[in-house]
């Protein structure tokens, strides 16, 4: 009777307005634990606003507890923990969380797969990558909810980089696939916990990072310990995603599944304009790092090497070959479309 009175009182208070999504009164809301790859300072932009919004809207029906980088488990263990159900959902790229799928190598910074941030959602939503990701993660008991464009990948270093020769021997915190690609130019990839990076640069354990754009360098404090920012990038936008344990996802009513999709899409959108504006503004008005560039004729060697790298990856499996062919087809279309989609300087 108490529960019934509460329901009737609530219904009367709503009046003629539409009732919110139904909840089972007298029971606790559905609770999920989500861990992001991002530390607290970065998470304030890239995930917390979206989760706060979801929790306000879902109310008594569902709440998400948000945890930051390495807070529950190391980032490299995120996939396994989500697959087992220890964590219900994850925000990460495929590469960082080392998911055992055929598409993992393309998450994070697959070299030169994107030139601009809009490339990523177009590739997923119009060129078929979303379907491939859904297929591959469904095989391993994980729901791939959505992918979005995050920031570009630049070097932030203690010493200046003005030529390819300057990359030789640089110990750099970067992603597995990016590190594999950059090693041919003398870069020494280093893997450390996210929260240890700033100190590692200060102590000389690292010479720099190739993990983000300039917006994140300023936001998370790396601009305080590095002196130079290389304007050449190996990717115009990171491909990152939201994932969930498949059983937990299937247990949700359709309205909550839809609310999660919409909320996560709003997070992708926030990042798109936050990075696009931030990258330009900090290049022009940022005072913490000096900008450097590698000449176009030298950097062309890196872009050519990336195409060879694509073919190496494509030879590893049929699924990888499908993804690489989509990337080739897409970039060919953009090149033929010309300005503003693609253009050759000079």
Rounded average pLDDT over 48-64: 97
Q: Give pLDDT tens digits for 63-89.
A: 999 999 999 999 999 999 999 999 999
Residue 3: its pLDDT value, please?
A: 39
Q: Give pLDDT tens digits for 234-281.
A: 999 989 999 999 999 999 999 999 999 999 999 999 999 999 999 999
Q: What is the 3-state secondary structure (H, E, C) of 70-86?
A: CCCCCHHHHHHHHHHCC
Asked if the domains at 29-105+119-150+238-277 and 153-237+287-316 fall in one CATH topology, the answer is yes
Q: How far apart are CA 230 and CA 181, in angstroms?
A: 17
Q: How far is CA 149 from the centre of its chain?
A: 7
Q: Which CATH architecture has domain 29-105+119-150+238-277?
A: 3-Layer(aba) Sandwich (3.40)
Q: How far apart are CA 210 and CA 148, in angstroms?
A: 20
Q: Which pTM does this prediction carry?
A: 0.88
Report the CATH number of the 153-237+287-316 domain. 3.40.190.170
Q: Please say if the pLDDT value at position 25 is more than 80.
A: no
Domain spans in the chain, listed from the N-terminal domain onward: 29-105+119-150+238-277, 153-237+287-316
Q: What is the DSSP letter of 108?
A: B
Q: How far apart are CA 324 and CA 318, in angstroms?
A: 10
> Given pLDDT bands bounded at 50, 70 and 90, which one contains residue 16?
very low
Handedness of CA 93, 180, 210, 332 (dihedral sign): negative
Residue 66: its pLDDT value, please?
A: 98
Residue 193: its pLDDT value, please?
A: 87
Give bridge partners of residue 146 from the DSSP assignment.
Answer: 242
Rounded average pLDDT over 86-105: 95
The count of residues in the chain is 346
Q: How many CB atoms lie within 10 A of CB 5?
A: 9
Q: What angle do CA 24, 26, 30 make, to 5 degrees?
A: 55
- Grouping H, G, I as helix, E, B as strand and the rest as coil, residue 65 is strand
Rounded average pLDDT over 281-295: 97
């Amino acid at each position: 009777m108490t529960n019934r009175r509460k329901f009737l009182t609530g219904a009367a208070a709503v009046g003629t307005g539409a009732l919110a999504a139904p909840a089972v009164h007298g029971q606790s809301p559905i609770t999920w634990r989500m861990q992001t790859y991002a530390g607290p300072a970065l998470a304030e932009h890239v995930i917390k606003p979206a989760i706060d919004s979801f929790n306000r809207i879902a109310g008594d029906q569902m709440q998400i507890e948000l945890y930051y980088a390495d807070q529950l488990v190391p980032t490299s263990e995120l996939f396994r923990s989500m697959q087992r159900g220890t964590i219900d959902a994850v925000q990460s790229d495929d590469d960082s969380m080392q998911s055992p799928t055929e598409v993992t190598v393309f998450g994070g910074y697959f070299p030169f797969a994107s030139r601009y941030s809009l490339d990523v959602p177009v590739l997923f939503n119009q060129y078929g990558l979303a379907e491939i990701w859904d297929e591959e993660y469904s095989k391993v008991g994980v729901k791939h909810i959505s992918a979005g464009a995050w920031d570009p990948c630049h070097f932030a270093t203690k010493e200046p980089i003005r030529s390819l020769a300057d990359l030789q021997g640089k110990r750099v915190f970067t992603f597995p696939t990016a590190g594999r690609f950059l090693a041919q130019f003398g870069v020494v990839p280093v893997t450390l916990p996210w929260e240890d990076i700033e100190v590692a640069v200060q102590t000389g354990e690292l010479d720099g990072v190739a993990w983000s754009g300039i917006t994140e360098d300023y936001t998370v404090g790396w601009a305080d310990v590095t002196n130079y920012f290389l304007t050449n990038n190996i990717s115009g936008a990171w491909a990152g995603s939201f994932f969930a344990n498949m059983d937990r996802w299937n247990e949700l009513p359709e309205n909550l599944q839809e609310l999660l999709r919409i909320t996560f899409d709003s997070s992708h959108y926030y990042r798109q304009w936050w990075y696009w504006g931030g990258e330009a503004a900090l290049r022009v008005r940022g005072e913490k790092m000096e900008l450097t560039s590698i000449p176009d004729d030298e950097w062309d060697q890196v872009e050519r090497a990336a195409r060879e790298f694509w073919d190496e990856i494509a030879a590893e499996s049929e699924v990888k070959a499908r993804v690489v062919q989509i990337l080739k087809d897409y970039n060919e279309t953009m090149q033929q479309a010309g300005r503003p989609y693609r253009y050759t300087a000079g």
